[in-house]
Structure 1
Amino acid sequence: MNGLVQATPALAEVVTGDVDSIRIAFDEQSMVILRVAIGAILFGIALDTRVEDFRRAARRPGSIAIGVAAQFLVLPAITFALTLALHVRGSVALGMILVACCPPGNVSNIVTHLARGDVALSVSMTAVSNLLAIVLMPLNFALWGSLHPTGGPMMRAIALNPVDMLIEVGLVIGLPFLAGIALASRFPQVSARASKVVGPAGFLLLGGLIAIALANNLTLFLGYIGIVFLAVLLHDALALGLGYGIARLTRLPGGSARAMTFEVGIRNAGLGLLLVFSYFDGLGGMALVAAWWGIWDIIAALAVAGWWRRWPVRDAARFDAVPHS
């Protein structure tokens, strides 16, 4: 793994230039590891998913519909508006839009449990959202990215084909997710034990890859972190606030509101990072946004969960038992 995730020497040395001109290169070995990590995360989610989760979702169509609308309609739209308000560079804007279009990961289930929220709703929403993301994520990104005044021309210059991204997302999400559900349905006890290893191992692998990438490009990262730090902080706060706000606006119970906060606020930025290197040649602003979001998102979610854990849920409709243990 020598030379893993290295920027070109000139760009690593001169970090005062345009973030849109930076390219962070992933070698072929790194791309394989990244795909394995994302696949393991999705496989781990599926191993902890049962057909009953979809039946449970069908019995709560209103809550699921609210969550889906918030994730796939409202969040990308308000992210687009935030990029315009902040006047960020085109590559940063595309990175923010891409992250907003990503589905949640099972970190949302963990922090919902820590926050004493409705874990049953969280697990059901994670399953439904990842299934829908196979189609909705590429379409959403193609729509909002192409409409952006500075990001759109960059997309057209790269000549991104939404069908290609749809196939990539289908392979990365669809295959491990469907395989995991099939295994969980046929061998529930085996999958229950395996889910405690596969998902965390995927996150550790992804976290290690991001850490190595940042270490190998530390000068570059420190030079441009000021550009993406505020954007990611505001974007993440907006996503978490949207989840909580839309839950309260639609009068969901307190435990469900906590679950909705994390389902909308937590995004699988690792998937976004994979797409940045697969289709955008490691475009600087996009890569930095996805990498930093993957770190900051977990920090912010744990902070919110820790705060909520100190306060009881003030309603009877609370489901704080993990469905599959």
Structure 2
Amino acid sequence: MTSSAITTVLLPAALAVIMFGLGLSLSRSDFTRVLSYPRAVVVALACQVLLLPAICFGLVVALDLAPELAVGMMLLAAAPGGTTANLFSHLAHGDVALNVSLTAINSLLAVFTLPLVVNWSIARFLGDGTGISLQFGKMLQVFAIVLVPVALGMLVHAKAAAFAARMRAPVRLLSVVFLVGTIGVAIFQERANIGGYLREVGIAALVFSVLSLTIGYFAPRLFRVNRRQSVASAMEIGIHNSTLATTIALSPALLNSGEIAVPGAVYGVLMFFTAGAFGLFVARKARTEGLDATVVAPSPG
């Protein structure tokens, strides 16, 4: 994708607004709360940071995806969970407090892990001389674009909690407007190739979404994490922040590639259906087992 004034200005702004909005919903207690259920947090983070990128790599190799699409899938796998996971967790009777804590920790870890995964993926699938890179200077840009707005949002939350609460909805709406506009530009510029991209990456995105949700739920259960926390883990791990992945892929200051953005954009649509179906499944399972989430208290660890 060629750079344009719209993508050059709007994409960094969109990402900054998105991360600022995330910061508005976080506080220091979200990080310290993890001490209340360490087992659930450790299992979820291990799945998110280690297991899913490995599984995604195996998937893209097995499906023999085009190099740019393979990098896009790996970028998606490295992206943390998003705030959408909180809503799905609530609807599925998960432990939303755990979701908030996992989002906080995942977002912080991703500042370091995401550039590493993407750099490795570019070297593995694209090699040198492709004109697409995320070297040290651009890694610093990722840190700045992601971490600084989150820190500012948390500062506003700490100093003016009521104002932060009022601003969450408008900031979220503004980020959606920015993102829809820039994705629209990217689709227009790549319109001749979109059909082929969808055919190539649709199955990969669908399978990865289902695997992420399944692993996110059953891995904690194997380690005797209770049902509500396992549901929260499934939603946090299964709903990757496709907005972040797409924005990094499209940004002229970072990857500047419409092809790499395709998996995130496709996944961002599919995951609403897979997460919704999974939420119905676990909610029905809870009712069958007589484990109504309104009366089941989360157990530590």
Question: Cα offset for 1:219?
Answer: 4.1
Query: 1:11: which partner in 2?
Result: none
CA contact (8 A) 1:57 1:64 kept: yes
| 228, 238, 246: which one aligns with 1:265 | 238
Deviations 1:150-193 (A, max 9, x none): x142x553362432232122122101100011111111111112
Query: 2:43: which partner in 1?
Result: 66
Q: Any residues of structure 2 matched to 1:241-280 within 5 Å, and which?
A: 241-277=214-250, 278=252, 279-280=254-255
Question: Cα offset for 1:48?
Answer: 1.1
Query: 1:282: which partner in 2?
Result: 257
| 171, 187, 190: which one aligns with 2:160 | 187
Higher deviation after alignment, 200-209 or 257-266: 200-209
Q: Any residues of structure 2 matched to 1:83-122 within 5 Å, and which?
A: 83-122=60-99
Distance 2:3 2:269 in 1: 19
User: What letter corresponds to residue 317 of structure 1 in structure 2?
Assistant: A
CA contact (8 A) 1:122 1:259 kept: yes
DSSP 3-state at the match of 1:25: coil
Query: Does the C-alpha gap of structure 1 residues 211 and 247 become closer, same or farther in structure 2, counting only changes over 3 Å?
Result: farther
- Structure 2 unmatched ranges of 5 or more: none
1:173 equivalent to 2:146? Answer yes
Higher deviation after alignment, 118-127 or 168-177: 168-177
1:294 equivalent to 2:268? Answer yes
Q: Any residues of structure 2 matched to 1:205-216 within 5 Å, and which?
A: 205-214=178-187
Distance 1:37 1:281 in 2: 15
Query: Does the C-alpha gap of structure 1 residues 122 and 289 become closer, same or farther in structure 2, counting only changes over 3 Å?
Result: same
Query: 2:27: which partner in 1?
Result: 50
DSSP 3-state at the match of 1:117: coil
CA contact (8 A) 2:132 2:256 kept: no
Higher deviation after alignment, 125-134 or 230-239: 230-239
Question: Cα offset for 1:247?
Answer: 1.6
Query: Does the C-alpha gap of structure 1 residues 281 and 46 become closer, same or farther in structure 2, counting only changes over 3 Å?
Result: closer
- TM-score with structure 1 setting the length: 0.81
Deviations 1:28-75 (A, max 9, x none): 222322222222222112111121111111332222222211111111
Question: Cα offset for 1:233?
Answer: 1.0
DSSP 3-state at the match of 2:193: helix
Over the matched positions of the two proteins, sequence identity in percent amounts to 28
Distance 1:297 1:204 in 2: 20
Question: Cα offset for 1:203?
Answer: 2.8
Question: Cα offset for 1:310?
Answer: 4.6
CA contact (8 A) 1:97 1:145 kept: no
DSSP 3-state at the match of 1:252: coil
1:78 equivalent to 2:51? Answer no
Query: 2:118: which partner in 1?
Result: 141
DSSP 3-state at the match of 1:173: helix
Higher deviation after alignment, 305-314 or 93-102: 305-314
